[in-house]
């Protein structure tokens, strides 16, 4: 291997590029393809200090260790989000979500969510997933030319989370714009206008959920409808009750966490298969490969690229000393292309058999919805590539200019059987 060429055509940008990397100053090339930058960082500056003093980690082993030490690597963001979010409802939302809290607050909420994601609960949801996917496939088949992300991939998570929270069908169009605005509020270079849009979305979402909960209390739903919401309202078996804000913000978080992540994985996955047509043929010939195939696509184009932690004590990683209070970026996108963990990391092998990717994080904060997400992606992705024998991009698809979440702004395609 020479210095200029790394893996499958990815060029080593070199030590200077790694040293100059700043997560708060990214350009369009980075958003389209961040992997050359990630390789340079992992190779030349795996424990990289950003201009604002935070650390940026890119090795799989370092991320894995951080995820499994939640005492040293805290998820509490009350101090850090204050700087970018100020005293807004956006701040209130993110600092009340379980993902940005440490035990015991985190443990309480996580325990309340667990019944929604048991294998039994998921089996009950599977027929609904198939129903939504089949209906969406019929719709886009009729259209012929359509937007893969908005006309197909986004439909499923919105319907499912809408079902879980018991949101009336006619209101579901409200959910996606709120989720996108609120998650956009997590970007490192948050502009005031973006922050205000995100805070307004939180206010609107909260008002909506207050109304929904009041409705539910007046007219309780029977059966599976609104199951998660009804389980979260009121005390649990030990008599512990979530506060109103915990309830509202964690419902909002559920939608946000499971919506774009899943839709982007389906779209990123189709895009990746179109770039590796031999793998697309392989999947079409052997649909059972969807199980390992989805893991590979989650690894290859992880829809969540970054997580954050804060050190609660002095620490050392890879011989670099860090201080208590330092902020740490965990770069999933880089770890999932680490050649020390994944042979041939920049190629897709849908049959890859040892695939310890970190697309869902790991440790106590590992994605609570990963089984649901996996099921949705398998059924949607396989449904799409098996239904349409011809899939052609029909325009330029640009990536969303956000570092934390990887996905397209839109993805025009033409598809036929
Ligand atoms: C491809 C789809 C998905 C991806 C890539 C993904 C990714 C992640 C990641 C990386 C984390 C860890 C965050 C951290 O450690 O800081 C996480 C947490 C979480 N995810 Fe997902 N997620 C997906 C789908 C879902 C779905 C469908 C749901 C539920 C409807 C969901 C609910 C959650 C929750 C509740 C947490 C917080 C867990 C905790 O803090 O204990 N996710 N997700």
Tokens found for residue 201: 């979305």
Is 333 touching ligand 1 by the criterion CB < 6 Å? no
Cβ within 8 Å of residue 22, ≥6 positions away:
50, 51
Tokens found for residue 193: 């206008």
Is 360 touching ligand 1 by the criterion CB < 6 Å? yes
If we measure between CA atoms, which residue out of 30, 20, 23 comes closest to residue 401? Answer: 30
Ligand 1 centroid, distance to 360 Cα (angstroms): 6
Asked, for residue 402, whether it belongs to a domain, the answer is yes
Ligand 1 atom 40, closest CA: 99
pLDDT of residue 188: 73
Tokens found for residue 411: 């993805």
Please name every residue paired with 307 in a beta bridge, in sequence order, or none if there are none.
Answer: 330
Ligand 1 centroid, distance to 359 Cα (angstroms): 9
Is 391 touching ligand 1 by the criterion CB < 6 Å? no
Asked, for residue 104, whether it belongs to a domain, the answer is yes
Is 262 touching ligand 1 by the criterion CB < 6 Å? yes
Ligand 1 centroid, distance to 303 Cα (angstroms): 11
* Closest ligand 1 atom to Cα of 265: 1
CATH number at residue 173: 1.10.630.10
Rounded-to-integer distance, Cα 42 and Cα 57, Å:
8
pLDDT of residue 232: 82
Asked, for residue 30, whether it belongs to a domain, the answer is yes
- The string of pLDDT tens digits covering residues 217-247 is 787 666 555 567 777 887 888 888 889 999 9
Residues of the chain predicted below pLDDT 70: 1-5, 220-227
Residues 233-240: contacts with CB within 8 Å, 24+ apart? 236/111, 236/112, 240/108
Pairing state between β 327-331 and 55-57: parallel
Ligand 1 centroid, distance to 42 Cα (angstroms): 25
Asked, for residue 8, whether it belongs to a domain, the answer is no
- Other C-beta atoms lying within 10 Å of the C-beta of residue 43: 18
pLDDT of residue 228: 78
Asked, for residue 199, whether it belongs to a domain, the answer is yes
Is 407 touching ligand 1 by the criterion CB < 6 Å? no
* Closest ligand 1 atom to Cα of 309: 16
Tokens found for residue 160: 């499912």
Residue 343 exposed, middle or buried by CB count within 10 Å (0-12, 13-18, 19+): exposed
- Split into its structural domains, the chain has a count of 1
Contact assessment for residue 66 and residue 330, using Cβ atoms and an 8 Å cutoff: yes
Ligand 1 centroid, distance to 366 Cα (angstroms): 7
* Closest ligand 1 atom to Cα of 373: 27
The domain of 403 spans 15-416
Strand arrangement of the beta sheet that strand 327-331 belongs to: 47-49, 55-57, 327-331, 306-311, 73-74
Asked, for residue 42, whether it belongs to a domain, the answer is yes
Is 265 touching ligand 1 by the criterion CB < 6 Å? yes
Ligand 1 atom 26, closest CA: 258
Ligand 1 atom 25, closest CA: 258
Instruction: Specify the residue for token string 């909420």.
Output: 109
pLDDT of residue 1: 41
pLDDT of residue 215: 85
pLDDT of residue 222: 61
Asked, for residue 52, whether it belongs to a domain, the answer is yes
Q: For 234, which DSSP code? A: S
Asked, for residue 2, whether it belongs to a domain, the answer is no
């Amino acid at each position: 291997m020479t210095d200029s060429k790394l893996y499958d055509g990815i060029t080593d940008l070199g030590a200077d590029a790694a040293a100059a990397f700043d997560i708060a100053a990214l350009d369009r090339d980075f958003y389209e393809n961040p992997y050359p930058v990630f390789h340079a960082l992992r190779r030349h500056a795996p424990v990289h200090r950003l201009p604002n003093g935070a650390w940026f980690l890119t090795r799989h082993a370092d991320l894995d260790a951080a995820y499994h030490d939640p005492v040293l690597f805290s998820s509490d963001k009350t101090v850090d989000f204050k700087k970018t979010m100020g005293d807004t409802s956006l701040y209130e939302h993110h600092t009340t979500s379980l993902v940005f809290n440490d035990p015991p607050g985190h443990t309480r909420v996580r325990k309340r969510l667990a019944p929604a994601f048991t294998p039994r609960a998921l089996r009950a949801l599977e027929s609904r997933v198939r129903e939504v996917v089949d209906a969406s496939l019929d719709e886009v088949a009729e259209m012929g030319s359509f937007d893969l992300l908005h006309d197909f991939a986004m439909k499923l998570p919105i319907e499912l989370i809408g079902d879980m929270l018991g949101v009336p069908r006619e209101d579901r169009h409200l959910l996606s714009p709120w989720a996108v605005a609120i998650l956009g509020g997590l970007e490192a270079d948050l502009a005031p206008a973006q922050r205000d849009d995100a805070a307004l979305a939180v206010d609107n979402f909260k008002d909506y959920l207050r109304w929904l909960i009041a409705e539910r209390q007046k007219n309780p739903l029977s059966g599976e409808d609104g199951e998660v919401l009804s389980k979260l309202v009121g005390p649990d078996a030990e008599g512990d009750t979530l506060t109103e804000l915990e309830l509202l913000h964690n419902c909002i978080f559920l939608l946000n966490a499971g919506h774009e992540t899943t839709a982007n994985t389906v779209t990123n996955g189709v895009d990746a298969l179109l770039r590796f047509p031999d793998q697309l043929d392989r999947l079409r010939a052997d649909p059972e490969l969807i199980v390992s195939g989805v893991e590979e696509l989650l690894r290859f184009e992880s829809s969540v690229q970054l997580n954050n932690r804060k050190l609660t004590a002095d620490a050392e990683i890879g011989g670099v000393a860090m201080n208590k209070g330092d902020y740490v970026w965990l770069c999933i996108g880089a770890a999932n292309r680490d050649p020390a963990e994944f042979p041939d990391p920049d190629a897709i092998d849908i049959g890859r058999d040892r695939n310890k990717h970190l697309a869902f994080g790991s440790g106590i904060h590992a994605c609570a919805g990963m089984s649901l997400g996996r099921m949705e992606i398998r059924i949607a992705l396989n449904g799409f590539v098996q239904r349409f024998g011809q899939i052609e991009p029909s325009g330029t698809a640009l990536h969303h200019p956000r570092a934390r979440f990887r996905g397209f702004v839109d993805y025009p395609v033409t598809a036929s059987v």
